[in-house]
């Protein structure tokens, strides 16, 4: 076990999570040990239903641990009052908030809940924090817009602004990019990255996008059925930890670039002549069609288009077929 | 949509009142109640309202679907009506008349001592409701998020529960089970004030509610004639179209708060 370092903000010690109590206790996972440092972006990875959301809810204090301890800044979570915890940890779930007549400003202002007086009066200082949160998430121009009129990405950004207004050093997000398109995903991820980098926020988020997690996070908590493995994404790649996530008879995980492919019966191997971008994508297409790329010359083989002749040549035993696109090339291969 | 009338909280209060008026002696009628009797009536009403409220809260902690809760509330109030009907069947004429007149609702049949009781209970309820406005704002975003921003959800439930029981119970005890003001007015306040902030909505709802209620009462007095309509009928006739309008208008938002 690692020694507790001064930057450590969260540590889990033999944490048991699950539902129920007494005889009906349903423990989801074996005891978990993990830690997080200040300012880290941590991705929680695991198959559907393994207990990622339960873990995140337990860390937020919305659910009691069934055993073991959670320490924030070296102090047990049980010793924090609800208000103190709310000034320390913010939370975004996958729940979509639908309230009529609520403006983005009102939603973000709710983040001030643990800081305001008994009736929830927004003082000048609170107002400044709210404006700053809106600015950091570039949502200023939406501040008076009703939350029911926002796009998925804008809604997620206003939720992030809400925890920024809550002014917590830890942000816990359950699948923050789940409903978003690719551009939206990267925008949110970039925002999370900036917050952990520039504002020193510790962000713990769950995701199913393994590639994104590997590329962007400082650390991964990989939850498997029998244990939690933590480490830099690259460390987990090297030790082959991700292989346990998949049924390796059907899915092939490429530990060099973190991509997946389906493992299927190979239909044969094909040699490709040519270089560059077009070769890269032709290889992909040929793999997808169920062939492997051979290093030695085979029959049939494919010649990549060059600057003079824009067509893929598929040379068989006796004939040569010319295809004007990869789509045609694959049809020709399938038709053989 | 979950007004006290729909969820059966008013019916619960009626049951409490029915126990007092129909259940004990023929000497007790709302008019003859003095001093301690007023408090007995109000307390019975609180207990009735509180019991139904508690049932609804137990149900709503298990069932998240608002439609299911509403339907269960309607079933509950029908069940309570059935019990009251049985009690009516076995009661004597005087008690029955006193009870039926009470169910028609009236703002007028209050003595000064009753007003005092009402004033104290309603003030307590209003202060509690103002105190809960911060909690209600947090609960707008759901119990999970409310918990994550520091709300003690169980405490909030108790306060809101107490507040609703006191307010619905004491008014019902003295003025009868007046329907539809409780559902219609909060929605009108939301539409008029265009906000979700309970710091505005609670005083706004009190104001609009008082205005609508007084208008209903003026109509029920049938200006220019001797006769008086039951105010309960007037509020229903005014309230129902409003509720229908609100439902149709808000169809785009699922799960009304």
Residue A12 included in any domain:
yes
Residue A133 included in any domain:
yes
* Same domain, yes or no: A107 and A150: yes
Residue A170 included in any domain:
yes
Question: Of A245, A260, A294, which closes a domain?
Answer: A245
* Same domain, yes or no: A83 and A178: yes
d(CA B231, CA A271): 90
HSE (CB half, 13 Å, CA atoms) of B131? Answer: 16
* Same domain, yes or no: A102 and A227: yes
* Same domain, yes or no: A310 and A208: no
Reading the block at residue B173, the tokens are 């005890």
Which site among B1, B134, B143, B150 would you substitute to test the A interface, given the most A Cβ atoms closer than 10 Å to its Cβ? B150
B119-166: per-residue pLDDT in tens? Answer: 999 999 999 999 899 999 999 998 899 999 999 988 998 898 889 888
**Within a 10 A sphere around the Cβ of A228, how many other Cβ atoms?**
19
What is the ipTM for the molecules in this complex? 0.81
Structural domain of residue A319, as residue ranges? Answer: 269-335
Residue A259 included in any domain:
no
DSSP string, B185-210: HHHHHHHHHT---HHHHHHHHHHHHH
A175-224: per-residue pLDDT in tens? Answer: 999 888 888 898 999 999 999 999 999 999 999 888 888 888 999 999 99
Assess whether pLDDT exceeds 50 at residue B257: no
Residue A264 included in any domain:
no
* Same domain, yes or no: A232 and A85: yes
Mean pLDDT of B207-225: 90
Question: Of A230, A245, A260, which closes a domain?
Answer: A245
* Same domain, yes or no: A187 and A40: yes
Q: How confident is the model at residue A1 (pLDDT cuts 50, 70, 90)?
A: very low
**CA of A171: which chain B residue's CA is closest?**
B148
* Same domain, yes or no: A145 and A38: yes
pLDDT above 90 covers a percentage of chain B that reads 25
* Same domain, yes or no: A274 and A130: no
d(CA B226, CA A184): 69
Does residue A251 have a cis peptide bond before it, meaning omega lies within 30 degrees of 0? Answer: no
Evaluate whether B16 touches B40 at the Cβ level (below 8 Å): no
Q: How confident is the model at residue A14 (pLDDT cuts 50, 70, 90)?
A: very high
* Same domain, yes or no: A226 and A312: no
- Tell me the sheet residues that pair with A26: A19
Domains with residue ranges and CATH for chain B:
1-177 (1.10.3470.10), 179-257 (no CATH)
Question: Of A175, A210, A245, which closes a domain?
Answer: A245
CB contact under 8 A, B144 and A62: yes
A50-89 residues touching B, CB cutoff 8 A: 57, 60-62, 82-83, 85-87, 89
The answer to whether A148 faces chain B, any CB pair under 8 Å, is yes
Count of domains for chain A? 2
For A322, the enclosing helix (H) or strand (E) is strand A320-323
What pLDDT is attached to residue A268? 81
* Same domain, yes or no: A122 and A224: yes
Residue A262 included in any domain:
no
- Closest by Cα among A123, A114, A120, A51 to A83: A114
Residue A251 included in any domain:
no
What pLDDT is attached to residue B2? 58
* Same domain, yes or no: A284 and A214: no
* Same domain, yes or no: A12 and A145: yes
d(CA B139, CA B152): 10
């Amino acid at each position: 076990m690692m020694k507790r370092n001064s930057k450590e903000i969260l540590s889990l010690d033999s944490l048991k999570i699950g539902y129920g109590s007494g005889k009906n206790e349903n423990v989801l996972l074996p005891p978990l040990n993990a830690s997080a440092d200040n300012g880290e972006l941590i991705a929680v990875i695991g198959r559907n239903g393994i207990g990622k959301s339960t873990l995140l809810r337990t860390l937020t204090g919305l659910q009691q641990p069934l055993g073991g301890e959670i320490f924030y800044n070296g102090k047990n979570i049980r010793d924090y009052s609800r208000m103190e915890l709310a000034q320390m940890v913010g939370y975004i779930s996958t729940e979509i908030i639908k309230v009529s007549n609520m403006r983005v400003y009102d939603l973000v202002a709710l983040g001030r809940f643990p800081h305001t007086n008994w009736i929830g009066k927004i003082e000048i200082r609170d107002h400044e924090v709210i404006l700053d949160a809106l600015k950091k998430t570039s949502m200023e121009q939406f501040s008076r817009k009703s939350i029911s009129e926002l796009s998925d990405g804008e809604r997620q950004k206003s939720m992030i602004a809400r925890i920024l207004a809550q002014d917590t050093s830890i942000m816990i997000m359950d699948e923050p990019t789940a409903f978003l398109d690719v551009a939206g995903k990267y925008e949110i991820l970039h925002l999370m990255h900036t917050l952990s980098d520039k504002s020193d926020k510790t962000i713990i988020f769950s995701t199913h996008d393994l590639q994104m997690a590997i590329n962007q996070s400082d650390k991964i908590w990989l939850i498997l059925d029998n244990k939690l493995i933590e480490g830099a994404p690259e460390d987990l790649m090297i030790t082959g930890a991700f292989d346990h996530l998949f049924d390796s008879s059907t899915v092939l995980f490429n530990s060099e670039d973190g991509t997946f492919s389906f493992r299927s019966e190979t239909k044969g191997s094909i040699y490709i002549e040519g270089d560059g971008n077009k070769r890269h994508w032709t290889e992909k297409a040929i793999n997808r069609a169920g062939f492997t790329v051979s290093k030695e010359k085979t029959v049939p083989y494919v010649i990549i288009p060059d600057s003079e002749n824009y067509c893929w040549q598929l040379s068989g035993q006796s004939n040569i077929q010319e295809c004007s696109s990869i789509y045609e090339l694959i049809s020709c291969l399938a038709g053989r | 949509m979950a007004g006290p009338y729909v969820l059966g909280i008013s019916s619960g209060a009626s049951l409490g009142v029915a126990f007092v008026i129909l259940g004990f002696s023929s000497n007790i009628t709302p008019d003859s109640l003095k001093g301690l009797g007023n408090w007995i009536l109000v307390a019975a009403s609180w207990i009735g309202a509180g019991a139904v409220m508690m049932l609804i809260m137990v149900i709503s902690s298990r069932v998240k679907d608002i439609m299911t809760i509403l339907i269960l509330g309607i079933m509950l109030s029908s069940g309570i009506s059935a019990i009251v009907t049985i009690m009516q069947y076995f009661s004597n004429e005087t008690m029955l008349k006193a009870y039926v007149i009470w169910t028609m609702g009236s703002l007028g049949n209050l003595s000064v001592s009753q007003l005092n009781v009402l004033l104290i209970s309603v003030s307590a309820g209003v202060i509690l409701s103002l105190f809960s406005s911060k909690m209600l704002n947090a609960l707008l975003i759901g119990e999970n998020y409310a918990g994550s921003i520091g709300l003690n959800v169980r405490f909030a439930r108790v306060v809101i529960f107490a507040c609703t029981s006191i307010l619905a119970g004491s008014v019902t005890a003295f003025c009868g089970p007046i329907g539809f003001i409780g559902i219609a007015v909060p929605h009108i306040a939301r539409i008029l004030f265009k906000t979700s902030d309970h710091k505005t909505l609670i005083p706004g709802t009190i104001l609009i509610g008082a205005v609508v209620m007084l208008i209903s009462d003026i109509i029920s007095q049938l200006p220019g004639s001797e006769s008086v309509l039951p105010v309960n009928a007037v509020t229903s006739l005014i309230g129902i179209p409003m509720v229908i309008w609100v439902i149709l208008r808000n169809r785009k938002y699922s799960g009304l708060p």
